[in-house]
Amino acid sequence: MTNVLLITADQWRGDSLGAVGHPVVRTPNIDRLAGEGTLFRRHYAQAAPCSPARACLYTGLYQMTNRVCRNGTPLDRRHDTLALAARRSGYDPTQFGYTDVAQDPRRLDGRDPWRTTYEGVLPGMSVRVRLPEDVKPWLSWLKGRGVDVPPGLDIYLPKDGPADPPAAQDTHYSAEDTETAFLTDEFLRWLGEQDRAWFAHVSFIRPHPPFIVPHPYASMYSPDDGGDFSRAATPEAEAAQHPFLAYSLDTIRKTNFVHGASGSISDWDDAARRQIRATYWGMISEVDAQIGRMMAGLEAAGAAEDTLVILTSDHGEMMGDHWLYGKLGWFDQSYHVPLIVRDPKAGRPGQAVDRFTESIDIVPTILERIGADVPPHLDGRSLMPFLEGTIPANWRSEAHWEFDFREVATAETERRFGLPLDALNLAVVRGERFKYVHFGGLPPLLFDMQADPGELTNLAEDPAYRDARLEMAEALLAWRARHLDRSLSGIELTEDGPVSATVDRRAG
């Protein structure tokens, strides 16, 4: 049996690593991993934020099917998961970090604490280290290493000086003491205990905010590095493009990104925005260093040539583009994520794939690689042919994703937009040239991605682009029709018993 190491690094933009030619960010260890495996240049998440993105990643199903709409939306217990499938194949899939899967409350009794959090464990996963947002296991680890730990999440405040405006300040912990280093240590310790084929999911929180990192990473990049942000001339001009942008720019708060800050993200000037971006890049390089330790640990354990390694992220980060921070809406920055697959038993090292691939493809890829059954109703398709140097027949020509902005507990967005709960959503089809965004109850958007890669000019109401809008809307409708829940629709009961459509017949 092959070992499996699935690494996710949270909130990582797909353009922010050296292997894809970023002009500033340095990621030598990940670049080396890409040189030993296959780099997927146009890989997209199917939803945001964390729970919806991970539901797609872990089930191989689009949001329209798994219906995890927001952080806190339960994952219906009827859905299979990567961990359950791996367990049926003889593995004990083990979690380091978090999976952010809200439990189906119908299977929980009384006052079960799992009913009060979206930070649940993916069904089928064993837990070696669970690292929720309160990061208590990391904090206790720091105390054991002699670090003077401030109360609660004040660990994310600078050691001296104000949190806002952001600056490259000292932290309460060193580069050897980060959350990433903590999980890496725990994985390497666990690796030394293994005496049979294993399956590990290492889920790093970084480069997710709060945006702070120890030296040398805090000062590794200058705020003067990098080009201009991709955005309209002013926040007001950006907001005028669409009601959802106006709402987002009005409601997103600094505290979501810089611990100890207050006020709106619109209050930051460009000096602060450039410092945040430099810090984000430093956080990426910090993760890269720990991934280098993991790969060295595999080599030292003699496991490198028996381990399938997959490195990806759950979703991206706006990082100042369109005057926004976080992961939201329809922009590529929020959904284009890294993907590197290193399979020492198959593939052509160093190759790059420029076809559209999606997070839902990871489940069938792993299942095929470990010899497990690949259910025909999955929305994703195996990437194994790409690893072997071929392009699968009838491969998709677009990427797709969804974003749901309902607020079930507060009804805030219902009041703001005057729309019912189930109309507060959007779906995207992103092709080579055009991107079309369809809303449940707000105006659509159309962008020419070749002429306007910054997505600054909405062409949806331009008569010259009426045919393009219609073509993309029809493509989106056809996509939804093909991928409605197919768990039983590909099965027919006959006199000879149930007959199932094959995966190849369901492809597309």
Q: Is residue 436 a part of any domain in this protein?
A: yes
pLDDT tier at 370, thresholds 50, 70, 90: very high
Residue 335, φ and ψ in degrees, nearest 5: -125, -20
pLDDT of residue 504: 61
Whether residue 242 is contained in a domain is answered as yes
Confidence of residue 506 (pLDDT cuts 50, 70, 90): low
Query: For the residues of 175-223, what is the DSSP string, one character each?
Result: GGGSHHHHHHHHHHHHHTT--S--EEEEEE-TTSSS----TTGGGSS-T
Helix (H) or strand (E) segment spanning residue 457:
none
> pLDDT averaged over the chain?
96
What residues contact residue 113 under an 8 Å CB cut-off, 6+ apart?
Answer: none
Query: CB atoms < 10 A from the CB of 21, how many?
Result: 9
How many residues are recorded in the chain?
Answer: 508
pLDDT band per the 50, 70, 90 thresholds, residue 503: low
**For 265-315, how does the pLDDT look when each residue is reduced to its tens digit (9 = 90+)?**
999 999 999 999 999 999 999 999 999 999 999 999 999 999 999 999 999
Q: What is the mean pLDDT of residues 72-87?
A: 97
Confidence of residue 501 (pLDDT cuts 50, 70, 90): confident
Catalytic positions are 50
Total tally of structural domains belonging to the chain:
1
Describe the crossing of helices 179-191 and 270-300 by its angle, rounded to 10 degrees. 10
Phi, psi (rounded to 5 degrees) for 62: -65, 160
Residue among 437, 256, 230, 205 at smallest CA distance from 318? 230
Does residue 498 belong to any structural domain of this protein? Answer: no
Residue 106 covered by a domain: yes
Q: Is the pLDDT of residue 471 over 70?
A: yes
pLDDT of residue 267: 95
Whether residue 412 lies inside any domain: the answer is yes
Can you give the residue range of the structural domain that contains 386?
3-489
Q: Classify residue 508: in a domain, yes or no.
A: no
Look at the block and give the residue holding tokens 């009804």.
Answer: 411
pLDDT tens digits along 154-200: 999 999 989 999 999 999 999 999 999 999 999 999 999 999 999 99
Which of 27, 28, 4, 5 has its CA nearest to residue 14?
Answer: 27
- Per-residue pLDDT band for 491 (boundaries 50, 70, 90) equals confident
* 505 in any annotated domain: no
**Does residue 502 fall inside a structural domain?**
no
User: For residue 249, what is the domain's CATH number?
Assistant: 3.40.720.10
